[in-house]
Amino acid sequence: MKWATRAGVHIDRAACAWLIRRRIDADAEFAFVDDPSRVPADAIPFDMRGVELGHHGGDCSFETVLRRYELTDPVLWKIAEIVHEADLDDERYDAPEAPGLDVIVRGLSMTCDDERVVELTGPLFDGLYEYHRRAFLLGRPPA
C-alpha cells in the first residue's frame, strides 16, 4: 500500500513510518509531499493536518495510529509516550529519552533526505522497542 506524509520528516512521522512497516503494512511505500493537496489519490495520509491519522484530542499521530489499528502492545504504548513528548513536549508523560531522541532525529533531518531518515530511524526504533520490551518483562531497566 501507499502512504503519504509531509516532507521534512521529524520524530512523529519517522515513528509512524516504522510502526506502519512493522505492524500494519510490511510493503508500505512512503511518499513525502509539500502540500496536503499533493497526496496521491491511492495513498493513506498520516501526520498531516485534517487527516484521520493525525493529531487528535491531544494525541500525536503515533498514538492515533495505535488507536486506529487497535494495537494494544504495551511496549508500543511506552514508545508512544516517548514519541509524544519528543513531538509535543507537553509533559503529559515522564519520558526522559524524549529530548535526546528529538535532537537525534532533528539532526538527521538536516543531513539526510526523508527516505534516508525513515531508513535510518527504523533500526533506532527497533532498538528502542527491544529495550522497552525487556524493561517491561523485567519490571526494571534492563542491563
Regarding 89 and contact with another protein (CB under 8 A), the answer is yes
Amino acid at 38: R
Regarding 34 and contact with another protein (CB under 8 A), the answer is no
Stretch that binds another protein, among 19-27, 53-61, 66-74, 114-122 (CB under 8 A): 53-61
Q: Which residues pair with 29 in a beta bridge?
A: 2
Regarding 10 and contact with another protein (CB under 8 A), the answer is yes
Between CA 113 and CA 120, with CA 117 as vertex, the angle to 5 degrees is: 135
Regarding 45 and contact with another protein (CB under 8 A), the answer is no
Smallest CA-to-CA distance from 84 within 73, 75, 95 is with 95
# residues near another protein by CB under 8 A: 12
Regarding 55 and contact with another protein (CB under 8 A), the answer is yes
Stretch that binds another protein, among 20-28, 48-56, 68-76, 126-134 (CB under 8 A): 48-56
- Nine cell digits for residue 25: 503494512
Angstrom distance (rounded) from CA 79 to CA 143:
19
Angstrom distance (rounded) from CA 81 to CA 39:
28
Regarding 107 and contact with another protein (CB under 8 A), the answer is no
Binding site for another protein (CB under 8 A): 8, 10, 49-50, 54-57, 89-90, 99, 109
